[in-house]
A = this chain, B = another copy of it.
Amino acid sequence: MSKHRASLSTLLRHVHVSGPLSRAALAERMDVNRSTILALTSELVAAGLVREENPAAPAGAGRPSLVVRPETERVFVLAFDVAVDRLVAARVGLGGTVLDRRETTRPRTGVDLDAVVSNLAALGRELHDAAPPGTVCAGIGASYCGMIRPGDGMVRYGPELGWVDQAFGTELAAALGVGLPVAVGNEAHLGAHAEFVRGAGIGSPDLIYLHGDVGVGGGILVGGTLLGGESGYGCEVGHMLVNPHGGRECLCGSRGCLEAETGEYALLEAVGRGDEFGREAVRSVVRAAAAGDPAAAAAVASIGDWLGIGVANLINLFNPGVVVFGGTLRELYAAAAPQVGARIAQHSMRVSRERARLLPSGLGDDATLIGAAEKGFAALLSDPLGGLLVDRTF
């Protein structure tokens, strides 16, 4: 890519991530002079990606520096989130604002590819059709609770929904019929990126995001980049074996995996509510524990114990700056912090943990959805004038 295109990309990324910035601030961040910023901004204004405005109040003497603002209302992506207990679709504007959203509960069974795709496509088309005239869809991103093949969004393995080698990305793109591909990512990978860009992990490029749904997903950033591995199938934190002696059965076919010991089924069965499912059921157990219910408190503490072992192992391996607890682990971690902390102190190297902060998700239940939106914006952000938008305004 030419230096000029790289600079356009950098500028657009700055206002997408940080919101409106003065030309002066951009010049400082990008270490270029103001005339360069002026030239770059003019091109992005012409493309309809940013606009320039006078600042709210002039700062000090001299001519105030114009503020560059992303065209949030005009340029959007469609973002989808396939979680275990719900399907979400949203229209998210450049800059990361959720402009419109649809949500539906997902049935516990009967969730094959066709059903999920047709549900999502209906929500997506509703959002797309409701978009005001003159707006433009710049990309589509989707979050899925399983292992995703980079490139085409094939679900290689999704034990929670029982999917193996299902062409989710291409099928959803076809069903939407918007003429854009769907960039699919694993929910926890996307959550990790979202927390790094806009959540609890800002400024921490060595970040571990743990996502509690039915299972436990992991997204691990190493130096700001998602740990991909040989083919994109790393970060499978949930299937780390933590209990080799008589551990609970896992959906993956093994026993004693971290997610078998800490996931939704472990918690709900421990309190005799194995017939329920979903994030609200988990949260009601956490609330019961806080209210003094002994069975609930014991279940939460036991899960904290296993979770702490998992986190200790991750600290030893990754020496993270931050570990972010998302999905239902957000509340579970808050309730079981003493157990988690004790296990970390016992099983991780002092030197590896001394700078690690443990934090709840900053984006809450929307971390994966926001991550999907970021995935949808990726092509535009890396090449803002790549022609993507020219013929797409409607």
Instruction: Give residues in A with beta carbon < 8 Å to B.
Output: 147, 156-157, 204, 206, 218, 220, 222-223, 225, 227-237, 239-245, 252, 254, 257, 309, 312-313, 316-321, 346-352, 354-356
Contacts and interface: CB of A to CB of B under 8 A. Distances in A.
A82 B192 CA distance: 38
Contacts of A321: 229-230
A38 to B, nearest CB: 28
B319 A229 contact: yes
Contacts of A245: 245
A237 B352 CA distance: 12
A319 B349 contact: no
Nearest to A246: B245
Contact of A317 (B157, B234, B355): B234
A319 B240 contact: no
A225 B206 CA distance: 14
23 contacts: A147-B352, A156-B351, A157-B349, A157-B351, A206-B228, A206-B229, A222-B222, A222-B227, A223-B225, A228-B319, A229-B319, A229-B352, A230-B320, A230-B356, A233-B352, A234-B319, A234-B352, A239-B348, A240-B316, A241-B313, A241-B347, A252-B349, A313-B313
B240 A313 contact: yes
Contacts of A218: 317
Contacts of A237: 316-317
Contacts of A223: 225, 228
A229 B227 CA distance: 12
Given A234-B317, A237-B317, A244-B309, 8 more contacts: A206-B230, A230-B321, A230-B355, A231-B351, A234-B318, A236-B349, A240-B316, A257-B347
Contact of A244 (B222, B229, B242, B320): B242
